[in-house]
Structure 1
Amino acid sequence: MATERAWTPHGAYVLTGTGYDPRGQVVRAGRTVTPDSAPDLAAMLRVALLCNDAALEPPGDGSTQWRALGDPTEAALLVAGARLGLDHAELKRELPRVAEIPFDSDRKRMTTLHSRSDGGFQVACKGAPEAVIRPEVLADALEVAAQAGARAEELARRGYRVLALAGGDVAGGAGPPATWESGLSLLGLVGLMDPPRSESEPTITACRRAGVVPLLITGDHPLTARAVADRLGIASRGAEVTTGERIREGGVELTEVRVCARTTPEQKLDIVQAWRGAGHVVAMTGDGVNDGPALRRADIGVAMGGRGTEVARQAADLVLADDNPATIVAAVEEGRRVYANVRRVLLYGLAGGTAEIVVMLLGPFLGMPLPLSAAQILWINLLTHGLPGVALGAEPVDPDAMRRPPRPPEESVLGAGLWRRVLFMGAFISVVTLVVGAWARETGRPWQSMLFLVLGATQLGVALGSRARPGSLANPFLLIAVGAALGLQVAGVYLPPLRELLGTEPLAATDLLVACAVSGLGYAVMRLQARLRPERPPGQDPRRAEGA
């Protein structure tokens, strides 16, 4: 955050520089100014330095950049004063703080009282323009207040966070705090730019594509919120900005709000609760003390680890160590990958298990008294549910995972038609296996060995057909696991020690080719089913499941 614009009733200024580095210049009408040549600006920035609790930390400990200690907004004001040539430490010694009225979300301003060497006191006040430019606070003429209000709106419309600064002198006793914020003089406005990270716009785009509804809830001016929302694509350009005052008055459907400005912590909490009450999963991001209640109430509270306050970090479920919003999208993608793999493994395991049960139950009715021995069943389970099952759980994310809307929170893990796919694939594997076994029995072939080989190999074909990225080497472990399992399945028919253990007979080369060809149907049918029945229908309402 940086102070880029300043305005006083006597003129407008531009501040140059990078980040929190105090080196920079203040320019007016193309000329660099100093405290002596711009006393109006110097008076305003002195108030900004006095009514301030932040500090700047110079480069060190391997860092090459100046860092802000405390609120970033106040740190940006310290930088502005330094670029004009003001000394913060000297000013605090000259006018030590003796009392303060801290900032809160209702008053939207902060006031400090400083003792002067002559026994009097100086008042320094900063806050939102609408909280400072008020008749009960200022003693200025109405023309000056109107001029400042128009300038504040202009800066806000350009995306600046605007603060108004006022000051005054108190002779003799300080009086009660209620009297400090009256009869002050408006010193001017500052426009601070808090530019979105370069990753923010693609993050919002990715969220929208994934069916996540982005909301902007801020304490800034509505025009500032409008400019940021337009820049990031959070809401359509014609969408209305709702304010905390309108929410307080009632009659606002909170789940229809996309951009909300000048909100209090209670109103942020109300918005989160409204979306949760409508059945959505809500993720709330924040970094300030005022975000704490909403972070705690949200389904997933996400705090910033770098710039976030300790209150926000303690209230959140997750802390972003890099403060990068793109990490949220990566986390959503990883969550979808894990969930998809759980469903993938369930489909593969339950379909194979169903097929084995059906084969054992129906085999005797087709003239096969004992389709498989106990050892053969255990061998098939060991090979199919062992390494291949584990490897399926490590499948990479589906390329289309972030183009689908979220699943409804109430949906079971076997929902969205998965149990039907389990029954279909189980029935298909059963039919293929029983047909091959019956054919082998009728033609005088070793039918039990062929049934044993086809039942195991067809399940392995289903595993290959379940891949998230078929035709690639994205998960080589699965290819190795399936290859090894298939080799051991064939070895169970040909190696004498395994034949003796499993009770199988060797197959002729033609019989082996028939078994392998039929088993390949498991892969083909699984791929065809995945194409015809995607995980989520494209037309499902994305807002049914998630809001953020």
Structure 2
Amino acid sequence: LRVYARTTPDQKLDIVQAWRASGHVVAMTGDGVNDGPALRRADIGVAMGQRGTEVARQAADLVLADDNLATVVAAVEEGRRVYANVRRFLLYALAGGTAEILVMLLGPFLGMPLPLLPAQILWINLLTHGLPGVALGAEPVAPDVMRHPPRPPDESVLGAGLWPRLLAMGALVAGVTLVAGVWARETGRPWQSMMFLVLGATQLGVALGSRARPGSLANPFLLLAVATALALQAAGIYLPPLRALLGTESLPPVDLAIACALSGLGHVAMRVHRRLFPGRPPRARSAPGPAPG
């Protein structure tokens, strides 16, 4: 830890440049006229709104109306929550899309010429990407989020291992769906309706497994959204108007229970995958040397 006291405006500017040259995202706080150059050069200039000078406020990117630095910490925490929820939704949505593509591509090789009808795919997308997708954006912040170092500025939102995770989850959802379809076809059951139900329900299980704080009621909207989507998915099989629209057939209660049990694999796999691969934060960079001058 290095502490600089009674620094001149040039030295403040050199300190900011040294940290940026080391690859860090630099935030500079200040309230005086001499802080203006460093506030402008930093990635995020933070000025005091009450006791800060007009020069400092004009040079800064962010003005603290209450002059409380704790507000910066709260803003960083909220930003990390939003970023994590964006990644959470991308994992959920892209894994579901990957699963649907794999089902449609691999189904014909398993003796199912048309695994799902176009209306059935649209119905699944409407339910899985609708309310549950919106509810994932309301997930609370993870308990340990502020203990992670910042991510590299040039890292893609799909970086840090997200691509392999979504491909793995997509393959798992597709595998569960295809196994259910093959089993239903071999036992004389309406296999297309079984695949329709399992594919949608398993994706909803993945949504539940993506929660930031599992086992709590921190985001009850997600629980309600998943329950509503699951009920509408079942309605697509049991309500005559929806059956006619989607081209599905009714399933006996035993098959419905089997489909619901299979959908739980999506939740379990997501929890296990997050425990094994928690997305470790990047290694913190070393601090720069003494500022010149």
Cα separation, 1, equivalents of 2:115 and 2:283 = 48
Counterpart for residue 387 of structure 1: 131
- DSSP 3-state at the match of 1:426: helix
Contact 1:406-1:545 within 8 A present in 2 as well = no
Q: Compared with structure 1, are the counterparts of its residues 296 and 485 closer, same or farther at alpha carbon in structure 2 (3 Å cutoff)? A: same
Counterpart for residue 317 of structure 1: 61
Counterpart for residue 541 of structure 1: 283
Q: Please tell me whether residue 500 in structure 1 is matched to residue 241 in structure 2.
A: no
Aligned ranges 1:184-333 → 2 under 5 Å: 235=1, 258-333=2-77
CA drift of 1:543 comes to: 3.1
Moved more, 273-282 or 494-503: 273-282
Q: Please tell me whether residue 424 in structure 1 is matched to residue 168 in structure 2.
A: yes
- DSSP 3-state at the match of 1:281: coil
Cα separation, 1, equivalents of 2:229 and 2:172 = 21
**Paired amino acid for 1:469:** R
Q: Compared with structure 1, are the counterparts of its residues 509 and 544 closer, same or farther at alpha carbon in structure 2 (3 Å cutoff)? A: farther
Q: Which runs of 5+ in 2 are unaligned?
A: 289-293
Cα separation, 2, equivalents of 1:471 and 1:281 = 35
Pairing partner for 2:234 from 468, 477, 490: 490
- DSSP 3-state at the match of 2:4: strand
Cα separation, 2, equivalents of 1:280 and 1:479 = 39
- DSSP 3-state at the match of 1:303: strand
Aligned ranges 1:94-493 → 2 under 5 Å: 235=1, 258-493=2-237
CA drift of 1:541 comes to: 2.7
Q: Which runs of 5+ in 1 are unaligned?
A: 1-234, 236-257
CA drift of 1:459 comes to: 0.3
- DSSP 3-state at the match of 1:260: coil
**Paired amino acid for 1:420:** P
- DSSP 3-state at the match of 1:284: strand
CA drift of 1:355 comes to: 0.3
Q: Compared with structure 1, are the counterparts of its residues 317 and 375 closer, same or farther at alpha carbon in structure 2 (3 Å cutoff)? A: same
Cα separation, 2, equivalents of 1:500 and 1:263 = 76
Query: Alignment length, in residue pairs?
Result: 288
**Residues 350-381 of structure 1: per-residue CA shift (max 9 Å, x gap):** 00000000000000110111000000000000
Q: Compared with structure 1, are the counterparts of its residues 545 and 516 closer, same or farther at alpha carbon in structure 2 (3 Å cutoff)? A: farther
Greater C-alpha Rg? 1
TM-score by length of 2: 0.96
Give the root-mean-square deviation of aligned CA atoms. Answer: 1.3
RCO comparison, higher one (Cα < 8 Å, 6+): 2
Cα separation, 1, equivalents of 2:129 and 2:180 = 23
Higher helix share: 2
Q: Compared with structure 1, are the counterparts of its residues 545 and 354 closer, same or farther at alpha carbon in structure 2 (3 Å cutoff)? A: farther
Cα separation, 1, equivalents of 2:21 and 2:144 = 29
Cα separation, 2, equivalents of 1:545 and 1:356 = 47
Cα separation, 2, equivalents of 1:545 and 1:493 = 60
Cα separation, 2, equivalents of 1:260 and 1:401 = 29
- DSSP 3-state at the match of 2:285: helix
Counterpart for residue 514 of structure 1: 258
**Residues 189-245 of structure 1: per-residue CA shift (max 9 Å, x gap):** xxxxxxxxxxxxxxxxxxxxxxxxxxxxxxxxxxxxxxxxxxxxxx4xxxxxxxxxx
CA drift of 1:413 comes to: 0.8
Cα separation, 1, equivalents of 2:154 and 2:286 = 11
**Residues 247-305 of structure 1: per-residue CA shift (max 9 Å, x gap):** xxxxxxxxxxx211221111101110111122110000111111011000100000111
TM-score by length of 1: 0.52
Contact 2:160-2:279 within 8 A present in 1 as well = yes
Counterpart for residue 74 of structure 1: none
**Residues 50-85 of structure 1: per-residue CA shift (max 9 Å, x gap):** xxxxxxxxxxxxxxxxxxxxxxxxxxxxxxxxxxxx
Cα separation, 1, equivalents of 2:57 and 2:223 = 43
**Paired amino acid for 1:336:** R
